[in-house]
């Protein structure tokens, strides 16, 4: 499900419901996510209040006074708020119930997500400490990207999807940003000029901002925390459009595998 815009959309949806809320109960139906969820989560969170929320890459951070709950949605995770507890469905793994009876439900069919507790500053956590820059921050610059592209043969699409370089850029937005930049996804990174990097950094920022504005991309089942889909799928130029004509030049959009991920591109617009 989620790349940065979907995680950001989720965060923005949760904030007004959960800021300063006190946890009354935690129901753990299944703890087998990518890493096991602490069986103590209920005791850890009981009667504790959420101080604030933030996001680092695709990780959601719920800050408590005594530690941080780190949540990653993996490929198929979602977090939704309910005012009355709905019937439990197959992949509803965790409920966090608050003092005002609002309920936060984590649902994740493929269980690639994670719910982890840390008492330490979250940015020191092993999963977060090696993350690269935030794509929407000022320090994601052409020069920054260019330095990483030097001497590397790796396809540029795989490089911009590497969270140790820049966070939050997944398969959809990497595909779209490269189309908008007119760069073929398989281009060896070291062939990019500083000018290319300039364009690519600009398009990544633009695509991500647009997608956040549209509430993210709903392909099949992404919903924000209030149960609404994202509308960016209507804006997609090449992702999922292989064998259809390019909107710009009408050449048939092609697809290839890069790092086992399908990568759509227009052979005319992207060289």
Partner DNA sequence: CAGAATACCTGCGGGC
Partner DNA sequence: TGCCCGCAGGTATTCT
Task: Name the segment binding DNA (CB under 7 A); options: 37-45, 92-100, 117-125, 259-267.
Answer: 259-267
Judged by CB under 7 A, the residue of 64, 82, 112, 231 near DNA is 112
Position 109 contacts DNA (CB under 7 A): yes
Task: Name the segment binding DNA (CB under 7 A); options: 2-10, 19-27, 96-104, 199-207.
Answer: 2-10
Q: Quick one: 75 or 252, whose CB is closer to DNA? A: 75
Judged by CB under 7 A, the residue of 72, 93, 157, 241 near DNA is 72
d(CA 249, CA 269): 7
Position 116 contacts DNA (CB under 7 A): no
Position 125 contacts DNA (CB under 7 A): no
Task: Name the segment binding DNA (CB under 7 A); options: 61-69, 80-88, 136-144, 218-226.
Answer: 218-226
**CB 249, min distance to DNA, A:** 23
Judged by CB under 7 A, the residue of 68, 187, 214, 217 near DNA is 217
d(CA 35, CA 207): 31
Position 127 contacts DNA (CB under 7 A): yes
Q: How far apart are the first and last CA of the chain?
A: 29
Judged by CB under 7 A, the residue of 42, 111, 205, 228 near DNA is 111
d(CA 47, CA 49): 7
Position 75 contacts DNA (CB under 7 A): yes
Position 154 contacts DNA (CB under 7 A): yes
Position 2 contacts DNA (CB under 7 A): yes
Task: Name the segment binding DNA (CB under 7 A); options: 12-20, 44-52, 106-114, 246-254.
Answer: 106-114
Burial class (CB in 10 A: 0-12, 13-18, 19+), 113: buried
Binding site for DNA (CB under 7 A): 1-3, 6, 32, 34, 57-58, 72, 74-76, 90-91, 109-112, 127, 152-155, 158, 163-164, 170-172, 189, 216-222, 230, 259-262
């Amino acid at each position: 499900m989620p790349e940065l815009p979907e995680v950001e959309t989720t965060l923005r949806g949760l904030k007004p419901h959960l800021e300063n809320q006190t946890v009354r109960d935690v129901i753990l139906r299944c703890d087998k996510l990518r890493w096991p969820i602490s069986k103590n989560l209920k005791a850890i969170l009981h009667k504790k209040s959420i101080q604030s929320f933030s996001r680092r890459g695709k990780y959601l951070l719920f800050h408590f006074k005594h530690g941080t709950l780190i949540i990653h949605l993996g490929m198929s995770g979602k977090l939704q708020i309910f005012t009355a507890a709905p019937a439990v469905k197959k992949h509803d793994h965790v409920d966090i119930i608050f003092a005002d009876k609002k309920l936060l439900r984590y649902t994740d069919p493929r269980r690639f997500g994670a719910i982890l507790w840390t008492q330490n500053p979250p940015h020191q956590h092993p999963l977060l400490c090696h993350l690269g820059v935030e794509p929407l921050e000022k320090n994601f610059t052409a020069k920054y990207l260019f330095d990483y592209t030097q001497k590397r043969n790796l396809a540029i699409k795989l490089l911009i999807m590497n969270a140790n370089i820049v966070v939050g850029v997944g398969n959809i937005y990497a595909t779209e940003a490269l189309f908008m930049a007119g760069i073929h996804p398989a281009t060896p990174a070291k062939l990019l000029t500083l000018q290319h990097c300039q364009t690519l950094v600009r398009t990544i920022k633009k695509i991500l901002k647009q997608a956040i504005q549209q509430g993210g991309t709903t392909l099949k089942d992404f919903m924000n925390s209030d149960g609404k889909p994202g509308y960016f799928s209507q804006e997609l130029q090449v992702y999922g459009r292989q064998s259809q004509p390019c909107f710009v030049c009408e050449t048939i959009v092609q697809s290839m595998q890069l790092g086992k991920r399908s990568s759509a591109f227009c052979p005319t617009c992207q060289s």
